[in-house]
A = this chain, B = another copy of it.
Amino acid sequence: MTRYFEVLQSDGAARIGEMILKRKIQTPSIIDVSYFRDPENPIVDAGSLWNISPEDADANVKDLRTSTGDDTLIILPHQAIPPVILHENSDVNEMMPEDSGAYGCLYRGWTSDNIDLYIMEAAGAFDNNAKKFFEKIVEIRNTIPFDTALYAPAIALPENVAMLAYLGIDLMDSTKTILASYRDLYLTSEGMQYLDRLSEFPCRCSACNGADISDIVSMAGPDRQEFLKQHNLNVLEAEMAYVRERIREETLREYIEGQCRARPWLTALLRLSDRECSYAESNTQVVRSVEMIANTSESLTRPEVVRFADRVVDRYAPPLADVLVILPCSAKKPYSISPSHQQFIRALGKHRKYVNELILTSPLGIVPRELEIAYPAAHYDISVTGQWSADEFEWVSSRLYSYLCSNDYGSVVAHVDGPYRKICETVAQKLGIRIICTSNGNATSKESLSNLKGTVSSLLKDESVTGIKKTEEMLRSIADFQFGKGAGKMLLPDGAVIKGPYPKYQIYVDKSQVATLVPQYGMLALTLKGADLILPSNSYIVTIDDFIPRGSILSPGVIKADTRIRPMDEVIVQGPRIIGVGRALMGGKQMTQSTRGIAVDLRHVRKY
């Protein structure tokens, strides 16, 4: 809980925030600790207990508060120790402030309502130690409220601020960057180099632009160091601003997948974060307004991909069919509008309503036809070279394997070539089942297509029964995918009417509209009537206090929220006197933890 910090936007664990102090600070941000002594600075340090007695420290805090006002953040007196030393979580308790105003303190395992900023003790000592650093961040972030700021001192460099922000650090400082300048180090967002090892300035910052390298090298110490400090701070600030822009754009992940190669420990942090996927996933938006670029081996483990794969297992139930047709992905998306899939669909023809279709793809693994429009199935781009890596092969195989384990088919037809086919064969062998391959090496050749048609036709036992209602099942699947298994049947009971051309579907039940499919995201937007229908599932509900909201629900008004809710999820808002539908702007957990910020952007509301 916090009064002087607000999270404005999230992108996974990263966020854009604001420290609402006498001078506002947009976070993630770089601060200069040399101003911590200056009472004019928005953040001041009340001193080290190594240096002053607790009584003096206490007086210090009181004096500072009196002289600076509430909107200066006072870092409470601290007695910091390096991580080698274990410590009890006791000794700072007595320094808890009783009065109002903004306070920060070392993180020592406890939290308090009066604290807006926690300091990751000895963060700088974790440099290069990915495992410990990551564990510490997760521990802290999972303990302190969502809307408190986290400061990692003495670790930021242009090369690592992107990763620090990605992991959820809000404040960093210029300490290491300034010191590098006094060591004749020239920094870039990719690393550092001794000034005298450079042949030219690889930079056009306000310091470097037009500067001659040999002039600079031959300058006297203080002048040279001042030049380097200007350049290095320019690079640090520019990188930090760039990171903020990527968070606002919701593409920080794409950026760090490349930038983290600057140092092995940064790459290790990315991998560790993916392995502990829930940390980033729990606040990763369910849809983004941008394409998902899957360009590295780590793209296979990014939260969006893992979540999609998990939901296919946990939330998706294919409509009943005896035959499964496995198809390759296409560059154009959703797949069914691509030229190749148009041909597959034509080839399946009237048989199509008796089969399930499953698309194999990297990085998503498997995409059931019904979910091809759900984010990110219709929203990703990859590098195409025609070859699959072992990791892609293994990942897609494992997805197909688990799908076939939990879904029984009389026959499985694989209309795929190359690595796709090899995946099918590997999985078939592992499962001891037969998969019928219908492509001759070119899935869209006439021969292959007629083979597909003939094979499927011969496999179908009884076409006299009613086939699958493809559109209805697609919408049910999307509802399940969004709200959990069963929601589809609730939102589209038998007799529901679907209007509109693909994919702009509207769902009507008893002549009232219950939902619309938003093609851009592949998500259903509910009407109030739709909310009524799925309310009994008790899913994706945000419970608010007794008030009549208009437009948006602020987080302090949230009493309870489904912890499965992620930013951008469609949610049902329920209060003693209202029901509403809207789009979540925070995760469910964050809504209940936060004292600031918009929790839900409300679309419709109805009073009882």
A272 close to chain B: CB less than 8 A: yes
- Establish whether residues B258 and A199, one from each chain, have CB atoms under 8 Å apart when the complex forms: no
Give A210 to B238 CA distance when docked, in angstroms: 12
A495 close to chain B: CB less than 8 A: no
List B contacts of A390 (CB < 8 A).
389-391, 393-395
- Establish whether residues B198 and A245, one from each chain, have CB atoms under 8 Å apart when the complex forms: yes
A296 close to chain B: CB less than 8 A: yes
Chain B residue at minimal CB-CB distance from A294: B264
Chain B residue at minimal CB-CB distance from A382: B264
A244 close to chain B: CB less than 8 A: yes
A387 close to chain B: CB less than 8 A: yes
A309 close to chain B: CB less than 8 A: no
- Establish whether residues B389 and A297, one from each chain, have CB atoms under 8 Å apart when the complex forms: yes
Chain B residue at minimal CB-CB distance from A202: B242
One digit per residue, 1 when the CB lies within 8 angstroms of any chain B CB and 0 when it does not, for chain A 40-59 equals 00000000000000000000
Q: Given the known inter-chain contacts A204-B206, A206-B205, please indicate yes or no for A384 contacting B245, CB distance below 8 A.
A: no
- Establish whether residues A264 and B204, one from each chain, have CB atoms under 8 Å apart when the complex forms: no
Give A267 to B391 CA distance when docked, in angstroms: 16
A262 close to chain B: CB less than 8 A: yes
- Establish whether residues A209 and B202, one from each chain, have CB atoms under 8 Å apart when the complex forms: no
Binds B, one of A96-104, A140-148, A248-256, A335-343: A248-256
Q: Given the known inter-chain contacts A268-B383, A385-B275, please indicate yes or no for A202 contacting B238, CB distance below 8 A.
A: yes
- Establish whether residues A296 and B267, one from each chain, have CB atoms under 8 Å apart when the complex forms: yes
Q: How many copies does the complex hold?
A: 2
List B contacts of A428 (CB < 8 A).
none
Q: Given the known inter-chain contacts A190-B255, A204-B235, please indicate yes or no for A383 contacting B295, CB distance below 8 A.
A: no
Q: How far is the CB of A87 from chain B (nearest CB, A)?
A: 27
List B contacts of A188 (CB < 8 A).
242
A543 close to chain B: CB less than 8 A: no
List B contacts of A126 (CB < 8 A).
none
One digit per residue, 1 when the CB lies within 8 angstroms of any chain B CB and 0 when it does not, for chain A 376-388 equals 0000011111010
Chain B residue at minimal CB-CB distance from A381: B264
The B-contacting residues of A in range 101-115, CB under 8 angstroms, are none
Give A446 to B391 CA distance when docked, in angstroms: 36
Q: How far is the CB of A310 from chain B (nearest CB, A)?
A: 19
Q: Given the known inter-chain contacts A271-B387, A391-B297, please indicate yes or no for A245 contacting B204, CB distance below 8 A.
A: no
Give A296 to B300 CA distance when docked, in angstroms: 13
Tell me which of A203, A210, A235, A394 has the highest count of chain B C-beta atoms within 10 A of its own C-beta.
Answer: A203
A265 close to chain B: CB less than 8 A: yes
A130 close to chain B: CB less than 8 A: yes
List B contacts of A190 (CB < 8 A).
242, 255, 258
One digit per residue, 1 when the CB lies within 8 angstroms of any chain B CB and 0 when it does not, for chain A 163-193 equals 0000000000000000000000000101001
The answer, among B197, B204, B241, B257, for a CB contact under 8 Å with A202, is B241
Give A255 to B209 CA distance when docked, in angstroms: 23
A201 close to chain B: CB less than 8 A: yes
Q: How far is the CB of A503 from chain B (nearest CB, A)?
A: 25
A457 close to chain B: CB less than 8 A: no
Chain B residue at minimal CB-CB distance from A203: B238
Tell me which of A204, A267, A297, A394 has the highest count of chain B C-beta atoms within 10 A of its own C-beta.
Answer: A204
A127 close to chain B: CB less than 8 A: no
List B contacts of A244 (CB < 8 A).
199-200, 202
Q: Given the known inter-chain contacts A202-B245, A255-B190, please indicate yes or no for A261 contacting B295, CB distance below 8 A.
A: yes
Q: How far is the CB of A398 from chain B (nearest CB, A)?
A: 10
- Establish whether residues A384 and B268, one from each chain, have CB atoms under 8 Å apart when the complex forms: yes
A330 close to chain B: CB less than 8 A: no
A455 close to chain B: CB less than 8 A: no
Query: What class of interface size applies to chain A in its complex with B?
Result: 35 or more
Give A202 to B248 CA distance when docked, in angstroms: 12
Q: Given the known inter-chain contacts A193-B245, A204-B205, A205-B204, please indicate yes or no for A258 contacting B255, CB distance below 8 A.
A: no
Give A311 to B10 CA distance when docked, in angstroms: 50
- Establish whether residues A383 and B130, one from each chain, have CB atoms under 8 Å apart when the complex forms: yes
List B contacts of A254 (CB < 8 A).
261
A497 close to chain B: CB less than 8 A: no
- Establish whether residues B272 and A385, one from each chain, have CB atoms under 8 Å apart when the complex forms: yes
List B contacts of A239 (CB < 8 A).
202
The B-contacting residues of A in range 366-409, CB under 8 angstroms, are 381-385, 387, 389-391, 393-395
Give A113 to B238 CA distance when docked, in angstroms: 47
- Establish whether residues A200 and B241, one from each chain, have CB atoms under 8 Å apart when the complex forms: yes
Give A267 to B249 CA distance when docked, in angstroms: 22
A234 close to chain B: CB less than 8 A: yes
The answer, among B265, B385, B387, B389, for a CB contact under 8 Å with A383, is B265
Chain B residue at minimal CB-CB distance from A242: B202
Give A560 to B390 CA distance when docked, in angstroms: 42
Give A241 to B259 CA distance when docked, in angstroms: 18
A293 close to chain B: CB less than 8 A: yes
List B contacts of A417 (CB < 8 A).
none
Task: Pick the 9 closest A-B CB pairs, nearest first.
Answer: A258-B261, A202-B242, A297-B297, A204-B234, A206-B209, A268-B383, A267-B383, A390-B390, A264-B383
Sample of 9 further A-B pairs with CB below 8 A, known A193-B249, A264-B383, A390-B393: A130-B383, A202-B239, A204-B205, A204-B237, A206-B210, A264-B293, A268-B384, A275-B385, A390-B391
16 contacts between A and B (CB under 8 A): A130-B385, A190-B242, A198-B245, A199-B245, A200-B244, A202-B242, A203-B241, A206-B206, A209-B234, A254-B261, A258-B262, A267-B296, A271-B383, A275-B387, A297-B297, A390-B393
